Amino acid sequence: MKYYIIAGEASGDLHGASLIKAIKSSDKNANIRCWGGDLMKNAGGNLIKHYKELSFMGFWEVLINILKIFKNLKFCKIDINNFKPDVIVYIDYPGFNLRIAKWARKNGYKNHYYISPQVWAWQESRVNSMKKNIDSLYVILPFEKAFFEEKHNYRVNYVGHPLMEHIPKITLEYGIISKIGLASNKPIITFLPGSRKQEINKILPELIKIRNQFPKYQFVIAGAPGREMKDYDEILKNCSIPVIFNETYNLIKLSKACVVTSGTATLETALLRTPQIVCYKSSFISYFIARKIVKLKYISLVNIIMNKEVVEELIQSNCNSKKIANSLNKILATSNANQIKNDYEKLYQILDKGGASKITSNLIFESISK
Protein backbone atom coordinates (compact mmCIF):
# COMPACT_ATOMS: atom_id res chain seq x y z
CA MET A 1 0.00 0.00 0.00
CA LYS A 2 1.05 3.61 -0.58
CA TYR A 3 0.78 6.03 2.34
CA TYR A 4 1.15 9.83 2.27
CA ILE A 5 1.68 11.27 5.76
CA ILE A 6 1.68 15.00 6.59
CA ALA A 7 3.09 16.35 9.87
CA GLY A 8 4.11 19.98 10.34
CA GLU A 9 5.75 20.23 13.76
CA ALA A 10 8.37 18.55 15.99
CA SER A 11 5.75 16.64 18.00
CA GLY A 12 4.16 15.46 14.75
CA ASP A 13 7.55 14.20 13.61
CA LEU A 14 7.92 12.16 16.81
CA HIS A 15 4.47 10.60 16.58
CA GLY A 16 4.72 10.25 12.81
CA ALA A 17 7.92 8.24 13.21
CA SER A 18 6.20 5.81 15.58
CA LEU A 19 3.26 5.53 13.19
CA ILE A 20 5.57 4.78 10.26
CA LYS A 21 7.25 1.98 12.22
CA ALA A 22 3.85 0.56 13.15
CA ILE A 23 2.59 0.80 9.55
CA LYS A 24 5.67 -1.07 8.32
CA SER A 25 4.95 -3.74 10.91
CA SER A 26 1.32 -4.06 9.75
CA ASP A 27 2.09 -3.71 6.04
CA LYS A 28 5.40 -5.23 4.93
CA ASN A 29 5.04 -3.66 1.47
CA ALA A 30 4.28 -0.14 2.72
CA ASN A 31 5.56 2.70 0.53
CA ILE A 32 5.52 5.86 2.64
CA ARG A 33 6.00 9.43 1.42
CA CYS A 34 5.88 12.12 4.10
CA TRP A 35 6.15 15.67 5.33
CA GLY A 36 7.74 15.82 8.78
CA GLY A 37 11.27 15.64 10.11
CA ASP A 38 14.39 13.57 10.65
CA LEU A 39 12.64 11.05 12.91
CA MET A 40 10.08 10.19 10.23
CA LYS A 41 12.85 9.94 7.65
CA ASN A 42 14.89 7.63 9.88
CA ALA A 43 11.80 5.49 10.53
CA GLY A 44 11.59 4.73 6.82
CA GLY A 45 9.52 7.52 5.31
CA ASN A 46 10.57 9.27 2.10
CA LEU A 47 10.80 12.84 3.45
CA ILE A 48 9.59 15.50 1.02
CA LYS A 49 9.31 18.61 3.22
CA HIS A 50 10.87 19.28 6.64
CA TYR A 51 8.66 20.85 9.30
CA LYS A 52 11.25 23.60 9.82
CA GLU A 53 9.95 25.06 6.54
CA LEU A 54 6.33 24.81 7.65
CA SER A 55 5.87 25.74 11.30
CA PHE A 56 4.56 29.25 12.07
CA MET A 57 3.20 30.18 15.50
CA GLY A 58 0.39 32.67 16.01
CA PHE A 59 -2.06 34.56 13.80
CA TRP A 60 0.32 37.37 12.88
CA GLU A 61 3.17 34.98 12.05
CA VAL A 62 0.88 32.98 9.76
CA LEU A 63 -0.29 36.16 8.05
CA ILE A 64 3.19 37.41 7.17
CA ASN A 65 4.13 33.96 5.81
CA ILE A 66 0.90 33.43 3.88
CA LEU A 67 2.53 33.33 0.42
CA LYS A 68 4.91 30.59 1.55
CA ILE A 69 1.97 28.62 2.99
CA PHE A 70 0.02 28.86 -0.30
CA LYS A 71 3.10 27.74 -2.21
CA ASN A 72 3.43 24.69 0.07
CA LEU A 73 -0.27 23.85 -0.36
CA LYS A 74 0.08 23.92 -4.14
CA PHE A 75 3.21 21.78 -4.06
CA CYS A 76 1.55 19.26 -1.73
CA LYS A 77 -1.43 18.75 -4.04
CA ILE A 78 0.83 18.21 -7.04
CA ASP A 79 3.00 15.78 -5.08
CA ILE A 80 -0.02 13.76 -3.89
CA ASN A 81 -1.37 13.49 -7.44
CA ASN A 82 2.01 12.30 -8.69
CA PHE A 83 2.34 9.70 -5.90
CA LYS A 84 -1.31 8.52 -5.96
CA PRO A 85 -1.46 7.13 -2.41
CA ASP A 86 -3.99 4.57 -1.17
CA VAL A 87 -4.48 6.74 1.90
CA ILE A 88 -3.45 10.16 3.20
CA VAL A 89 -2.73 10.35 6.93
CA TYR A 90 -2.80 13.78 8.56
CA ILE A 91 -1.06 14.40 11.89
CA ASP A 92 -2.44 17.46 13.74
CA TYR A 93 -1.25 20.68 11.92
CA PRO A 94 -4.88 21.62 11.09
CA GLY A 95 -4.55 24.92 9.24
CA PHE A 96 -2.66 23.16 6.47
CA ASN A 97 -3.99 19.61 6.75
CA LEU A 98 -7.69 20.41 6.69
CA ARG A 99 -7.23 22.37 3.47
CA ILE A 100 -5.46 19.43 1.86
CA ALA A 101 -8.11 17.03 3.19
CA LYS A 102 -10.92 19.03 1.57
CA TRP A 103 -9.11 19.01 -1.77
CA ALA A 104 -8.19 15.32 -1.40
CA ARG A 105 -11.81 14.32 -0.73
CA LYS A 106 -12.92 16.03 -3.98
CA ASN A 107 -10.19 14.15 -5.81
CA GLY A 108 -11.17 10.73 -4.49
CA TYR A 109 -8.46 10.08 -1.89
CA LYS A 110 -9.05 8.34 1.45
CA ASN A 111 -8.41 10.67 4.38
CA HIS A 112 -7.41 9.44 7.85
CA TYR A 113 -6.59 11.92 10.61
CA TYR A 114 -4.29 10.91 13.48
CA ILE A 115 -4.15 13.35 16.41
CA SER A 116 -7.21 15.48 15.97
CA PRO A 117 -7.13 19.26 15.54
CA GLN A 118 -8.00 20.87 18.87
CA VAL A 119 -11.42 22.03 17.69
CA TRP A 120 -12.69 21.70 21.27
CA ALA A 121 -10.49 24.72 22.08
CA TRP A 122 -11.33 26.98 19.15
CA GLN A 123 -12.76 26.91 15.62
CA GLU A 124 -15.37 24.30 16.55
CA SER A 125 -16.98 25.03 13.19
CA ARG A 126 -14.21 22.91 11.66
CA VAL A 127 -16.00 19.79 12.91
CA ASN A 128 -18.49 20.04 10.03
CA SER A 129 -15.66 20.08 7.50
CA MET A 130 -13.97 17.15 9.26
CA LYS A 131 -17.17 15.08 9.14
CA LYS A 132 -17.46 15.72 5.40
CA ASN A 133 -13.82 15.14 4.49
CA ILE A 134 -12.23 12.72 6.97
CA ASP A 135 -12.95 9.00 6.64
CA SER A 136 -11.54 8.07 10.06
CA LEU A 137 -10.44 10.23 12.99
CA TYR A 138 -8.09 8.93 15.71
CA VAL A 139 -8.10 10.98 18.92
CA ILE A 140 -5.49 10.85 21.66
CA LEU A 141 -7.12 12.72 24.56
CA PRO A 142 -9.87 11.01 26.58
CA PHE A 143 -12.39 13.88 26.55
CA GLU A 144 -12.18 14.21 22.76
CA LYS A 145 -14.22 11.05 22.17
CA ALA A 146 -17.17 12.44 24.14
CA PHE A 147 -16.78 15.84 22.46
CA PHE A 148 -17.06 14.42 18.95
CA GLU A 149 -19.53 11.61 19.55
CA GLU A 150 -21.93 13.14 22.06
CA LYS A 151 -21.84 16.77 20.97
CA HIS A 152 -21.37 16.35 17.22
CA ASN A 153 -22.59 12.82 16.45
CA TYR A 154 -19.23 12.01 14.85
CA ARG A 155 -17.84 8.54 15.57
CA VAL A 156 -14.11 8.57 16.36
CA ASN A 157 -11.48 6.17 17.70
CA TYR A 158 -9.79 6.93 21.04
CA VAL A 159 -6.37 5.27 20.78
CA GLY A 160 -4.62 6.66 23.85
CA HIS A 161 -1.72 9.10 23.80
CA PRO A 162 1.31 8.23 21.61
CA LEU A 163 3.70 9.60 24.22
CA MET A 164 2.86 6.51 26.28
CA GLU A 165 4.83 4.50 23.73
CA HIS A 166 7.99 6.45 24.54
CA ILE A 167 7.86 7.68 28.11
CA PRO A 168 7.69 4.37 30.03
CA LYS A 169 10.84 3.18 28.22
CA ILE A 170 12.98 6.14 29.32
CA THR A 171 15.74 5.06 31.69
CA LEU A 172 18.80 7.07 32.62
CA GLU A 173 22.05 5.58 31.41
CA TYR A 174 24.99 5.32 33.79
CA GLY A 175 27.18 8.43 33.77
CA ILE A 176 24.72 10.52 31.76
CA ILE A 177 25.37 13.68 33.82
CA SER A 178 29.07 13.76 33.02
CA LYS A 179 28.40 12.68 29.44
CA ILE A 180 26.33 15.77 28.77
CA GLY A 181 28.81 18.00 30.59
CA LEU A 182 26.92 18.88 33.79
CA ALA A 183 28.18 18.98 37.37
CA SER A 184 27.20 16.00 39.51
CA ASN A 185 27.04 17.97 42.77
CA LYS A 186 24.35 20.54 41.87
CA PRO A 187 20.66 19.87 41.16
CA ILE A 188 19.45 20.72 37.65
CA ILE A 189 16.72 23.05 36.39
CA THR A 190 15.93 22.70 32.69
CA PHE A 191 14.42 25.32 30.41
CA LEU A 192 12.34 24.10 27.46
CA PRO A 193 11.60 27.33 25.54
CA GLY A 194 9.75 25.73 22.63
CA SER A 195 10.57 24.37 19.19
CA ARG A 196 9.55 27.39 17.10
CA LYS A 197 11.96 30.28 16.63
CA GLN A 198 9.24 32.76 17.64
CA GLU A 199 8.76 30.96 20.96
CA ILE A 200 12.48 30.91 21.71
CA ASN A 201 12.82 34.63 20.94
CA LYS A 202 9.84 35.58 23.12
CA ILE A 203 10.31 33.31 26.13
CA LEU A 204 14.00 32.42 26.56
CA PRO A 205 15.13 36.00 27.39
CA GLU A 206 12.81 35.98 30.41
CA LEU A 207 13.97 32.56 31.54
CA ILE A 208 17.67 33.30 31.60
CA LYS A 209 17.17 36.38 33.79
CA ILE A 210 16.42 34.19 36.81
CA ARG A 211 19.62 32.15 36.82
CA ASN A 212 21.46 34.23 39.45
CA GLN A 213 18.55 33.91 41.90
CA PHE A 214 19.18 30.17 42.29
CA PRO A 215 22.89 29.79 43.08
CA LYS A 216 22.46 26.26 44.45
CA TYR A 217 21.21 25.00 41.07
CA GLN A 218 22.68 24.59 37.60
CA PHE A 219 20.58 25.61 34.61
CA VAL A 220 20.47 24.01 31.19
CA ILE A 221 18.46 24.62 28.02
CA ALA A 222 17.05 21.63 26.15
CA GLY A 223 17.76 22.31 22.48
CA ALA A 224 14.59 21.65 20.48
CA PRO A 225 14.41 19.14 17.62
CA GLY A 226 14.93 20.89 14.31
CA ARG A 227 16.73 23.85 15.87
CA GLU A 228 20.44 24.69 15.74
CA MET A 229 22.81 26.48 18.10
CA LYS A 230 22.56 29.62 16.00
CA ASP A 231 18.89 29.87 17.01
CA TYR A 232 20.00 30.48 20.61
CA ASP A 233 23.33 32.31 20.17
CA GLU A 234 22.08 35.89 20.07
CA ILE A 235 19.97 35.50 23.21
CA LEU A 236 22.76 33.73 25.12
CA LYS A 237 25.70 35.90 24.04
CA ASN A 238 26.27 37.15 27.62
CA CYS A 239 25.05 34.00 29.34
CA SER A 240 26.85 30.77 30.19
CA ILE A 241 23.80 28.47 30.30
CA PRO A 242 24.56 25.47 28.06
CA VAL A 243 22.22 24.33 25.27
CA ILE A 244 22.14 20.54 25.02
CA PHE A 245 20.58 18.80 22.02
CA ASN A 246 19.19 15.30 21.67
CA GLU A 247 18.96 14.68 25.42
CA THR A 248 15.63 16.30 26.27
CA TYR A 249 14.05 13.33 28.04
CA ASN A 250 17.21 12.70 30.04
CA LEU A 251 17.40 16.35 31.05
CA ILE A 252 13.76 16.40 32.14
CA LYS A 253 14.17 13.20 34.13
CA LEU A 254 17.35 14.47 35.80
CA SER A 255 15.86 17.85 36.71
CA LYS A 256 14.54 19.02 40.03
CA ALA A 257 12.13 21.21 38.05
CA CYS A 258 11.49 22.43 34.50
CA VAL A 259 10.19 25.65 32.99
CA VAL A 260 8.29 24.64 29.87
CA THR A 261 6.72 26.48 26.95
CA SER A 262 3.13 25.37 26.47
CA GLY A 263 2.77 22.45 24.07
CA THR A 264 3.52 18.73 23.95
CA ALA A 265 6.57 19.26 26.18
CA THR A 266 4.27 19.99 29.13
CA LEU A 267 2.80 16.50 28.81
CA GLU A 268 6.23 14.90 28.31
CA THR A 269 7.50 16.59 31.46
CA ALA A 270 4.47 15.40 33.43
CA LEU A 271 4.81 11.80 32.24
CA LEU A 272 8.48 11.87 33.26
CA ARG A 273 7.27 12.97 36.73
CA THR A 274 9.19 16.25 36.93
CA PRO A 275 7.50 19.31 38.53
CA GLN A 276 7.11 22.18 36.07
CA ILE A 277 5.95 25.71 35.41
CA VAL A 278 4.25 26.34 32.06
CA CYS A 279 4.98 29.57 30.17
CA TYR A 280 3.49 31.06 27.05
CA LYS A 281 4.18 34.35 25.29
CA SER A 282 3.24 35.43 21.79
CA SER A 283 3.04 38.61 19.77
CA PHE A 284 0.47 41.11 21.05
CA ILE A 285 -1.73 40.68 17.96
CA SER A 286 -1.70 36.88 18.12
CA TYR A 287 -2.44 36.86 21.84
CA PHE A 288 -5.24 39.42 21.50
CA ILE A 289 -6.96 37.34 18.81
CA ALA A 290 -6.45 34.10 20.78
CA ARG A 291 -8.07 35.61 23.86
CA LYS A 292 -11.15 36.41 21.79
CA ILE A 293 -11.67 32.98 20.27
CA VAL A 294 -10.04 30.30 22.46
CA LYS A 295 -12.55 28.81 24.89
CA LEU A 296 -10.19 26.98 27.27
CA LYS A 297 -9.70 27.59 30.96
CA TYR A 298 -6.10 26.34 30.74
CA ILE A 299 -3.39 26.25 28.07
CA SER A 300 -1.24 23.28 29.17
CA LEU A 301 -2.29 19.78 28.18
CA VAL A 302 -1.70 18.58 31.73
CA ASN A 303 -4.27 20.97 33.19
CA ILE A 304 -6.70 20.56 30.28
CA ILE A 305 -6.79 16.77 30.62
CA MET A 306 -7.04 16.83 34.42
CA ASN A 307 -9.49 19.77 34.34
CA LYS A 308 -7.71 21.53 37.18
CA GLU A 309 -4.51 23.49 37.78
CA VAL A 310 -1.95 20.75 38.35
CA VAL A 311 0.87 23.00 37.12
CA GLU A 312 1.02 26.80 37.27
CA GLU A 313 0.61 28.69 34.00
CA LEU A 314 2.30 32.04 33.36
CA ILE A 315 0.80 33.58 30.24
CA GLN A 316 1.79 36.68 28.24
CA SER A 317 2.42 39.59 30.68
CA ASN A 318 2.70 37.10 33.56
CA CYS A 319 5.49 35.33 31.69
CA ASN A 320 8.21 37.50 33.23
CA SER A 321 11.34 36.74 35.20
CA LYS A 322 9.94 37.85 38.56
CA LYS A 323 6.89 35.59 38.41
CA ILE A 324 8.86 32.71 36.92
CA ALA A 325 11.32 32.89 39.83
CA ASN A 326 8.52 33.03 42.41
CA SER A 327 6.75 30.05 40.87
CA LEU A 328 9.96 28.09 40.62
CA ASN A 329 10.63 28.61 44.33
CA LYS A 330 7.18 27.18 45.09
CA ILE A 331 7.59 23.97 43.13
CA LEU A 332 11.09 23.39 44.50
CA ALA A 333 9.45 23.02 47.93
CA THR A 334 8.96 19.33 48.75
CA SER A 335 5.25 19.51 49.62
CA ASN A 336 4.29 21.27 46.37
CA ALA A 337 6.45 18.92 44.31
CA ASN A 338 4.82 15.87 45.91
CA GLN A 339 1.31 17.13 45.14
CA ILE A 340 2.23 17.71 41.50
CA LYS A 341 3.71 14.20 41.23
CA ASN A 342 0.58 12.64 42.76
CA ASP A 343 -1.53 14.31 40.07
CA TYR A 344 0.92 13.15 37.42
CA GLU A 345 0.29 9.52 38.44
CA LYS A 346 -3.43 9.92 37.81
CA LEU A 347 -2.71 11.50 34.43
CA TYR A 348 -0.47 8.57 33.49
CA GLN A 349 -3.26 6.05 34.06
CA ILE A 350 -5.77 8.04 31.98
CA LEU A 351 -3.58 8.18 28.87
CA ASP A 352 -2.34 4.59 28.61
CA LYS A 353 -4.38 2.51 26.14
CA GLY A 354 -1.66 0.07 25.06
CA GLY A 355 0.01 1.76 22.08
CA ALA A 356 -1.57 4.54 20.02
CA SER A 357 0.58 4.04 16.91
CA LYS A 358 0.00 0.29 16.80
CA ILE A 359 -3.76 0.65 17.29
CA THR A 360 -3.99 3.43 14.68
CA SER A 361 -1.85 1.68 12.05
CA ASN A 362 -3.92 -1.50 12.40
CA LEU A 363 -7.16 0.44 11.97
CA ILE A 364 -5.82 2.28 8.91
CA PHE A 365 -4.56 -0.93 7.31
CA GLU A 366 -7.83 -2.76 7.96
CA SER A 367 -9.81 0.14 6.48
CA ILE A 368 -7.87 0.49 3.23
CA SER A 369 -7.55 -3.30 2.76
CA LYS A 370 -11.31 -3.80 2.57
CATH number for the domain including 144? 3.40.50.2000
User: What's the Cα-to-Cα distance from 143 to each of 271, 278, 350, rounded to whole Å?
Assistant: 18, 22, 10
Q: Are residues 19 and 119 in the same domain?
A: yes
pLDDT in tens, 315-345: 888 989 999 999 999 999 888 899 999 999 9
Calculate mean pLDDT across residues 335-361: 90
Q: Are residues 97 and 84 in the same domain?
A: yes
**Is pLDDT at 249 greater than 80 in this prediction?**
yes
Confidence at residue 61, expressed as pLDDT on a 0 to 100 scale? 61
Q: Are residues 249 and 137 in the same domain?
A: no
**Is pLDDT at 288 greater than 90 in this prediction?**
no
User: What's the Cα-to-Cα distance from 232 to each of 205, 223, 241, 265, 312, rounded to whole Å?
Assistant: 10, 9, 11, 18, 26
pLDDT greater at residue 283 or residue 37: 37
Q: Are residues 210 and 260 in the same domain?
A: yes
Domain that holds residue 101: 2-160+353-369
pLDDT in tens, 210-245: 999 999 999 999 999 878 999 999 999 888 899 999
Confidence at residue 69, expressed as pLDDT on a 0 to 100 scale? 80
The share of the chain scoring above pLDDT 90, in percent, equals: 64
**Is pLDDT at 282 greater than 90 in this prediction?**
no
Q: Are residues 153 and 100 in the same domain?
A: yes
Q: Report residue 177's pLDDT band, with 50, 70 and 90 as the boundaries.
A: confident
Q: Are residues 365 and 337 in the same domain?
A: no
pLDDT in tens, 83-104: 999 999 999 999 899 999 999 9
Confidence at residue 196, expressed as pLDDT on a 0 to 100 scale? 82
**Domains in the chain, number:** 2
pLDDT in tens, 140-154: 998 999 999 999 999
Q: Are residues 266 and 277 in the same domain?
A: yes
Confidence at residue 165, expressed as pLDDT on a 0 to 100 scale? 86
Helices assigned H by DSSP within 107-174: 126-133, 142-146, 152
pLDDT in tens, 60-78: 566 666 777 889 999 999 9
**Is pLDDT at 367 greater than 80 in this prediction?**
yes
Q: Report residue 121's pLDDT band, with 50, 70 and 90 as the boundaries.
A: confident
Over the chain, what is the mean pLDDT?
Answer: 90
Q: Are residues 277 and 334 in the same domain?
A: yes
Looking at the DSSP bridge assignments, the partners of residue 328 are: none
Q: Are residues 143 and 265 in the same domain?
A: no
**Is pLDDT at 247 greater than 80 in this prediction?**
yes
Torsion of CA 97, 101, 103, 104, to 10 degrees: 130
Return d(Cα 34, Cα 41) in angstroms, integer.
8
Q: Are residues 219 and 153 in the same domain?
A: no
pLDDT in tens, 33-43: 999 999 999 99
pLDDT greater at residue 56 or residue 366: 366
Q: Are residues 197 and 312 in the same domain?
A: yes
**Is pLDDT at 59 greater than 80 in this prediction?**
no
Looking at the DSSP bridge assignments, the partners of residue 138 are: 114, 157
Q: Report residue 175's pLDDT band, with 50, 70 and 90 as the boundaries.
A: confident
Category of 226 on φ-ψ map: left (φ > 0), alpha (ψ -120 to 50) or beta: left
The share of the chain scoring above pLDDT 70, in percent, equals: 93
Q: Are residues 249 and 187 in the same domain?
A: yes
**Is pLDDT at 289 greater than 60 in this prediction?**
no
